[in-house]
Copies of this chain bind each other. A is one copy, B any other.
Amino acid sequence: MPSISKRGEVVPMSPFRKLIPIADKAKEAGKRVYHLNIGQPDIETPAYALQRVRATDMKVLEYSPAEGLSSYRKKLTEYYRKFHVEISADEVIVTTGASEAIQFAFLACLDQQEEVIVPEPFYANYNGFAQIADVRIRPITCHIEDGFALPDKAAFEKMVTTDTKGIFITNPNNPTGCFYSRESLEELAGLCRKYSLFLFVDEVYREFCYDGQEFFSALNLKGAEEHVIVLDSISKRYSACGARVGSLVTRNKAVLEAVARYAKLRLSPPGLGQILAEATLEMEETYMHEVTAEYARRRDVVYQRLSRMDGVASYRPGGAFYCFAKFPIDSAERFCRWMLEDFDLNGATVMLSPGEGFYATPGLGTDEVRIAYVLHTDALHAAMDCLQAGLEAYPGRLQGAEKVSANAGAR
């Protein structure tokens, strides 16, 4: 009998996936589980866009061009203009979700065993994409105490080796919710120019910036046009995760050509998803304003509730719909499991993602969790009630834990 590959045995798994079977058991046993573990929004996909899919009169669902429908690429350039980004349709390649955009970026820019510097905690699936491309993630640690602000320039410089090909950030950040300012980005761009590095920026949460902060796209970094590669997706923006439509945007012609070659290999991105995606760009802006306002309210609920919990370290996330929190507990993984298996408050509990899996450095994040505020505020309050009661009742709670709370907005 043939054996599977070594890499197939050790594919890094998402931290929130491991507990799913336990959550399923809890639900089978009649427990209500509030899911704050995964970024699947409950927000409705724009009815207008779904209607456009329903109204399609195609006879043959053909391959689209490998780089995406030209009409959609063109409309995307208008969308990016909202963020003062001037690009041409040729500089946008449509992908099967941001997942594929990230894989294409790794393959096109890094050879095997080359390195990319990524602030940790980071979106855990980057580990898997790096494994597929056989490239190495070099983590640079951020800290909950200052709301996961980016480390300073000197810290980044220390990480650069002869194998470093780029810096990879997510702005606003998943899993921390940290919002990176124009100044932070300009500092990184300076480093990328100095060391001839790519600057990969996953901007899938760009619409979700709170407290009046204006999002600054890396595509607007002057003098870094050949360095910047933006990864994007409609999944979160339009609550259309199942469409599997993303994009890769860059002005670097050599990168575009290589990515187009990889795109041609897999023939085309999803056709029906692209119809939906194109329709989202013909809508009124109201949808997005309402959605952003709703997430801001949710952010406030989570932040306020966490701030009032004894011994919990937290901060005010500036964007996306995630937040990290540090609990006075022995192990976040054990706590998350216990919440599902052994705890309930009036028949309900909450599912969170243990923080450890978002760090590449061993031993970090073991008392932290990621919270995705993807439920409406009533459900969020109920979930926070469960969390608060759970933290008090948890047998592995550390004694004498102090209440710590930081406030991290833009940085």
Chain A interface (Cβ within 8 Å of chain B)?
A: 1-9, 11, 13-14, 17, 40-45, 50, 53-56, 58-64, 96-97, 99-100, 107-112, 114, 125, 128-129, 132-134, 165-166, 192, 196-198, 226-227, 239-244, 252, 254-255, 258-259, 261-262, 264-273, 276
- Given A5-B107, A5-B109, CB of A262 within 8 Å of CB of B64: no
Residue of B nearest to A69 (CB): B242
Copies of this protein chain in the complex: 2
Instruction: Report B-chain residues with C-beta under 8 Å of the C-beta of A107.
Output: 5, 7-8, 132
A243 CB contact (under 8 Å) in B50, B55, B61, B129: B61
Instruction: Report B-chain residues with C-beta under 8 Å of the C-beta of A227.
Output: 1-2
Instruction: Report B-chain residues with C-beta under 8 Å of the C-beta of A165.
Output: 2, 5
A264 touches B13 (CB 8 A): yes
Q: Roughly how many angstroms separate A125 CA and B97 CA in the complex, as a whole number?
A: 21
Instruction: Report B-chain residues with C-beta under 8 Å of the C-beta of A198.
Output: 2
Instruction: Report B-chain residues with C-beta under 8 Å of the C-beta of A241.
Output: 61-63, 267-268, 271
A271 touches B258 (CB 8 A): no
B276 touches A272 (CB 8 A): yes
- Given A61-B45, A227-B2, A272-B242, CB of A265 within 8 Å of CB of B134: no
Instruction: Report B-chain residues with C-beta under 8 Å of the C-beta of A6.
Output: 111
B255 touches A268 (CB 8 A): no
Q: Roughly how many angstroms separate A96 CA and B54 CA in the complex, as a whole number?
A: 22
Instruction: Report B-chain residues with C-beta under 8 Å of the C-beta of A17.
Output: 264
Q: Roughly how many angstroms separate A53 CA and B55 CA in the complex, as a whole number?
A: 10
**Closest Cβ–Cβ distance, residue A230 to chain B (whole Å):** 15
- Given A54-B56, A96-B270, A265-B99, CB of A111 within 8 Å of CB of B61: no
